[in-house]
Copies of this chain bind each other. A is one copy, B any other.
Amino acid sequence: MTQVHDHTATDEAPQSSTAAPDAATSPAATTDAAPAINVEWLGEYLLGKWAKERKESRTLMSNPEFHRVDGLSMEDHRERVLHQLSLLVENKAVHRAFPIGLGGDDNHGGNIAAFEETVLADPSLQIKSGVQWGLFGSAVVHLGTKEHHDKWLPDIMSLKTPGAFAMTEIGHGSDVASIATTATYDADTDEFVINTPFRAAWKEYLGNAALHGKAATVFAQLITKDVNHGVHAFYVPLRDDSGPLPGISTEDDGLKGGLNGIDNGRLHFDHVRVPRTNLLNRYGNVDENGNYTSDIDSPGRRFFTMLGTLVQGRVSLDGAAVLASKLALNIAIKYGSERRQFTASSNTNEEVILDYQRHQRRLLPRLAQTYAMSFAHEEFLEKFDGVFSGRTDTDADRQDLETIAAALKPLSTWAALDTLQEAREACGGSGFMAENRLTQMRADLDIYATFEGDNNVLLQLVAKRLLTDYSRKFAGADAGAMAHYVADQVNEAAVNRTGLRRFAQNVVDFGSTARSIGYVRDTDSQRQLLTDRVETMVADVAGKLRSASKLPQAEAAALFNSHQNQLIMTAQAHAELLQWEAFTRALEKIEDKDTAQVMTWLRDLFGFSLIEKNLAWYLMHGRISTNRAQAITDYIDDRLLPRLRPQALDLVAAFGLTDELVRAPIASGIEAKRQNEARDYCAARRASGEEPVHEKDLKQKKRR
Instruction: Determine if A255 and B435 form an interchain contact, defined as CB atoms under 8 angstroms apart.
Output: yes
- Which B-chain residue is minimally distant from A681 (CB atoms)? B198
C-alpha gap A394/B173 in the complex (Å): 59
User: A9 in the interface, Cβ–Cβ < 8 Å?
Assistant: no
Chain B residues lying within 8 Å of A424, measured Cβ to Cβ, are 257, 446
**Could you write out 21 A-B pairs with CB less than 8 Å apart?**
A70-B255, A170-B674, A171-B678, A175-B341, A197-B681, A198-B677, A199-B678, A227-B692, A228-B695, A253-B433, A256-B432, A292-B695, A299-B695, A299-B699, A346-B554, A357-B563, A358-B564, A417-B421, A497-B627, A619-B619, A619-B629
A62 within 8 A of B: no
Q: Which residues of B contact A199 (CB under 8 A)?
A: 673-674, 677-678
- Contacts A355-B561, A497-B510; A678 near B180 (Cβ below 8 A): yes
B439-A257 in contact (CB<8A):
yes
Q: A168 touching B429 by the CB < 8 A rule?
A: yes
Assuming the contacts A227-B694, A554-B345, A678-B201, asked whether A432 and B417 have C-beta atoms less than 8 A apart, the reply is no
In the complex, A350 has a CB within 8 A of chain B: yes
Q: Mark A184-209, 1 if CB is under 8 A from B, else 0.
A: 00000000000001111100110000
Q: A246 → chain B, closest Cβ, in Å?
A: 23
Do A497 and B626 touch across chains, with their CB atoms under 8 A apart? yes
Knowing A254-B433, A496-B626 touch, does A350 contact B178 (C-beta < 8 A)?
Answer: yes
A356 at the binding interface (Cβ < 8 Å) = yes
B345 engages A429 (CB within 8 Å)? no
Residues B433 and A226 in contact, CB atoms below 8 Å apart: no
Please tell me if A503 contacts chain B, counting CB pairs below 8 Å.
yes
Q: List residues of chain B with CB within 8 A of the CB of A507.
A: 498
Is A258 close to B, CB under 8 A? yes
Size of interface on A: residues with Cβ below 8 Å to B: 119
Chain A, range 232-267, C-beta contacts under 8 Å to B = 253-258
Does A693 belong to the interface (CB within 8 Å)? yes
B434–A450 CB distance below 8 A: no
Candidates B200, B450, B503; contact of A425 at CB < 8 Å: B450
Question: Does A80 sit at the interface, judged by CB under 8 A?
Answer: no
**Complex Cα gap A255–B69 (Å):** 11
User: Known: A429-B173, A429-B204, A562-B638. Contact between A255 and B71, CB under 8 A?
Assistant: yes
**With A455-B425, A674-B200 as given contacts, are A358 and B568 in contact (CB-CB < 8 Å)?**
yes
| 17 more A-B residue pairs beyond the given contacts A71-B74, A227-B694, A227-B695, with a C-beta to C-beta distance below 8 A | A70-B255, A71-B254, A199-B673, A199-B674, A200-B674, A228-B695, A299-B695, A345-B554, A345-B558, A429-B447, A429-B450, A443-B443, A498-B506, A499-B503, A499-B626, A502-B502, A562-B637
Is A17 part of the binding interface, using a Cβ–Cβ cutoff of 8 Å?
no
Query: B74, B432, B499: which contacts A499 (Cβ < 8 A)?
Result: B499
**Within residues 382 to 439 of chain A, which ones have a CB less than 8 A from any CB in chain B?**
417, 421, 424-425, 428-429, 431-435, 438-439
- The answer to the question of A468 belonging to the interface, with a C-beta cut-off of 8 Å to chain B, is no
Contact A230 B696, beta carbon cutoff 8 Å: yes
Q: Which residues of B have CB within 8 Å of A554?
A: 345-346
Report the Cα distance A693→B358, complex, angstroms: 62
Contact A439 B258 (CB under 8 A): yes
B299 touches A561 (CB 8 A): no
A565 within 8 A of B: yes
Taken together as a complex, chains A and B put the C-alpha atoms of A439 and B257 apart, in Å, by: 5
- In the complex, which residues of chain B have a beta carbon less than 8 angstroms from the beta carbon of A477? none
A675 interfacial by beta-carbon distance below 8 Å: yes
Q: Mark A617-635, 1 if CB is under 8 A from B, else 0.
A: 0011010001101100000
Chain B's nearest CB lies how many Å from the CB of A671?
9
Q: Given the complex, which residues of B lie within 8 Å of A220, measured CB to CB?
A: none
Any chain B CB within 8 A of the CB of A454? yes
Whether A515 sits at the interface, judged by CB under 8 Å, is: no
By a CB distance below 8 angstroms, the chain B residues around A629 are 616, 619-620
Which residues of the partner chain B approach A450 to less than 8 Å between Cβ atoms? 425, 428-429, 431-432
Q: Is A172 an interface position by the 8 A CB rule?
A: yes
Assuming the contacts A425-B450, A446-B432, A565-B361, asked whether A693 and B558 have C-beta atoms less than 8 A apart, the reply is no
CB distance from A29 to the nearest CB of B (A): 13
Chain B residues in 8 Å Cβ range of A502: 499, 502
Q: Which residue of B is nearest A638, CB measured?
A: B562
In the complex, what residue of chain B is closest to A670 when comparing beta carbons? B199
List of B residues within 8 angstroms of A341 by Cβ:
172, 174-175
User: In chain B, what residue has the closest Cβ to A510?
Assistant: B497
Residues of A495-552 at the interface with B, using a CB-CB cut-off of 8 Å, are 496-499, 502-503, 506-507, 510
Question: Which B residues touch A480, using CB under 8 A?
Answer: none
Asked if B630 and A299 make an inter-chain contact with CB atoms under 8 angstroms apart, the answer reads no
A553 at the interface (CB under 8 A from B): yes
- In the bound complex, what is the Cα–Cα distance between A230 and B692 (angstroms)? 11
Which of A357, A454, A456 has the most chain B CB atoms inside 10 A of its CB? A357
Give the CA-CA distance A627 to B619 in the complex, in Å: 11
Q: Does A59 touch B at the CB level, under 8 Å?
A: no
What residues of B have a CB within 8 angstroms of the CB of A170 in the complex? 674
A254 CB to closest chain B CB (Å) equals: 7
Encoded as 1 (CB less than 8 Å from any B CB) or 0, chain A from 331 to 371 comes to 00000000001111111001000011110011000000000
A129 within 8 A of B: no
Chain B: minimal CB distance from A57 (Å): 26
B residues near A298, Cβ cutoff 8 Å: 696, 699
A50: B residues at CB distance < 8 A: none
A253-B433, A553-B346, A562-B357 known; A230 vs B499 contact (CB < 8 Å): no
Interface residues of A in 297-353 (CB under 8 A from B): 298-300, 341-347, 350
Q: Does A283 lie at the interface of the complex (its beta carbon under 8 Å from any beta carbon of B)? A: no
- Contact A434 B171, CB 8 Å, known A71-B74, A507-B498, A620-B630: no
- In the docked arrangement, what's the CA distance between A622 and B298, Å? 55
**A557 on the interface (CB 8 Å rule)?**
yes
Cβ-defined contact, A451 with B425, below 8 A: no
A497 vs B440: C-alpha distance when bound (angstroms): 49
Are B200 and A675 neighbours in the complex by a CB distance under 8 Å? yes
- Please tell me if A698 contacts chain B, counting CB pairs below 8 Å: yes
A156, CB-defined interface residue at 8 Å:
no
Question: Across the interface, which residues of B come within 8 angstroms of A561, CB to CB?
Answer: 344, 355-357
Please tell me if A120 contacts chain B, counting CB pairs below 8 Å: no
Residue A223 interfacial (CB < 8 Å): yes
